[in-house]
Amino acid sequence: MTEAAAPKEHTFRAGPAAMPGLPYFGGIVRMKKDPIGYLAEASGRGPVVRLGRLGRRSFYQVNDPDLVRSVMTAPRADVGMTRTSDVLGILFGESVFTMQDEPWRKRRDELQPAFRTSNLPELFGSAAGEIARTVAQFEPVAEAGGSVDCSAALLDLLQRMIVRMMFGVAVPETAAQLSRAFDHGLEYRQRRRWSLAGLPLWCPTPANRKFHDGVARLNASIVEIIEDHRSNPPERAGLLKMLMECRDGTTGLGWTDEELLAEVKTTFVAGWLTTATAAVWLFDLLGRHPGITARVVDELDALPDDGPLTYDDLHRLTYVENTILEAMRLFPPGWLLSRRVRRPFALGDLYLRRNAVLLVSPYALHRDPAHWKDPERFDPDRFRDSTHGEAHKAAFLPFGYGPRVCIGRGVALMELKMIVATLLRRFRFTLADRAPARLQPVSFLRRAEPLILGIAPR
């Protein structure tokens, strides 16, 4: 612990602090209007803060890193996932993201080989061509001294990268269809999330029917790709081929189409929108901090060869990596993690009842002055030492914490390094509008307005 103050002591003898609000319901309904402001306010009130009630569920925010660690590593019988039963469960199907208990453990073990580091060079090769396409799109604009909508360009680039890494080939129409279906599904989840309104998903309301029809169409188009993949395997091994090689831990047989479908959908969304969101914030911050950008460029100029970036070059980009981590500290795409108490559970000396929902906000934890010195300052050097300079391991969790930590961390860091390195070697970007960016905390922490950057050749 290099820079931060000592962790706070916590005790609940007088019961947890509570957010003000209506009698019985508390203030949780404010989450719908201004979740970031509400969570930030709650983060200063104590190690665990009672936010209020929605229906039968009481909501708590966990702010103390020791208690965050207890929640995120609690036995599965005590604390489980909330996403198993909501819109995400139907959208993704039974995947490593939505399952829990032994089926989750088994699936995670089966999936792990596809994400091992030794597969990254293969995925690098698939993704590099897509960045080259973005460079080609930017070149004429840069020559003319124009500007680019980086939000749209990065969203498009990261979609093409994950599709290539997944399928080994481009499937533009299906990819566009996938993103439309997911946009609708995630938006539907957002609408229902902090609300008491909304009948259960099995009720045939027009909104529920529209959602289920969209999921059915999405599934049909992915099954088509899987079948096509079986009959015409692409030259380059993508994640789908690696998933097809996964073996059921019990029977030793390959996965069923249903299992493959769920994992393909999960990887597509988990690997696309999160990384695109992180990339937009990274370019926003680089635009605001020319001194830091200059250090990034110095590191790129020091690479041994000025030809196309190689996989080995990535290991030399330590300042780039620290800059990425620092951008994810300030703007973690996964801004809110949640867990459900499955049987009465002691958190510190607070006893929680079954069905209580525990919220952990990486956004609030990453900006808590109790754990980070001068938390609003963008300073990649915080991550200079090998412990990543974290105040407390559980006070920095852009990729989650504990057994459910992000399985794609290595892929995401590789993609982000590739993008920064390739684009900043070719172009100079400038941010004209320096007004603070507005946050749009939906499923991911998006930038509300598009990021427009001036662009010129280097």
Q: Residues interacting with ligand HEM, by CB under 6 A?
A: 96-97, 108, 266-267, 270-271, 274-275, 278, 333-334, 337, 398-400, 404, 406-408, 411-412
Tell me the C-alpha distance between 304 and 13, whole Å: 60
Q: How far is the CB of 278 from ligand HEM (least distance, A)?
A: 4
Nearer to ligand HEM, 59 or 399 (CB): 399
Residues 240 and 164: beta-carbon distance below 8 Å: no
Which of 341, 343, 329 is CA-nearest to residue 383? 329
Q: How far is the CB of 405 from ligand HEM (least distance, A)?
A: 6
89's tokens: 């469960």
Tell me the C-alpha distance between 343 and 79, whole Å: 7
Q: How far is the CB of 411 from ligand HEM (least distance, A)?
A: 4
Compute φ and ψ for 50, nearest 5 degrees. -80, 125
Nearer to ligand HEM, 198 or 410 (CB): 410
Nearer to ligand HEM, 26 or 331 (CB): 331
Nearer to ligand HEM, 276 or 309 (CB): 276
Residues 153 and 179: beta-carbon distance below 8 Å: no
Residues 127 and 161: beta-carbon distance below 8 Å: yes
**Crossing angle, helix 257-288 and helix 409-426, to 10 degrees?**
40
Which of 223, 217, 150 is CA-nearest to residue 424? 150
The residue at minimum Cβ distance from ligand HEM is 408
CA atoms within 13 A on the CB side of 211: 26
User: Strand 452-457 vs strand 147-149: parallel, antiparallel, or unpaired?
Assistant: antiparallel
232's tokens: 């015409």
Q: How far is the CB of 96 from ligand HEM (least distance, A)?
A: 5
Q: How far is the CB of 299 from ligand HEM (least distance, A)?
A: 20
Residues 344 and 307: beta-carbon distance below 8 Å: no
Nearer to ligand HEM, 46 or 334 (CB): 334
Q: How far is the CB of 101 from ligand HEM (least distance, A)?
A: 12
397's tokens: 């969790």
Q: How far is the CB of 30 from ligand HEM (least distance, A)?
A: 22
Q: How far is the CB of 287 from ligand HEM (least distance, A)?
A: 19
What letter would DSSP give residue 392?
Answer: S
Rg of the Cα atoms in the chain: 22
Nearer to ligand HEM, 10 or 108 (CB): 108
Nearer to ligand HEM, 81 or 215 (CB): 81
Residues 90 and 201: beta-carbon distance below 8 Å: yes
Nearer to ligand HEM, 214 or 333 (CB): 333
Q: Which helix (H) or strand (E) holds 445?
A: strand 445-447
Q: How far is the CB of 141 from ligand HEM (least distance, A)?
A: 26
Nearer to ligand HEM, 111 or 148 (CB): 111
Nearer to ligand HEM, 115 or 188 (CB): 115
Nearer to ligand HEM, 416 or 455 (CB): 416
Alpha helices in 171-248 (DSSP H): 172-193, 206-231, 239-244
Q: How far is the CB of 15 from ligand HEM (least distance, A)?
A: 27
Tell me the C-alpha distance between 281 and 84, whole Å: 29
Tell me the C-alpha distance between 111 and 338, whole Å: 23
Tell me the C-alpha distance between 138 and 428, whole Å: 11
Cα torsion at 132, 137, 139, 141 (round to 10°)? -160
What letter would DSSP give residue 301?
Answer: H
Nearer to ligand HEM, 142 or 273 (CB): 273
Q: How far is the CB of 456 from ligand HEM (least distance, A)?
A: 28
Q: How far is the CB of 43 from ligand HEM (least distance, A)?
A: 17
What would the DSSP string read from start to end of 273-284?
A: HHHHHHHHHHHH
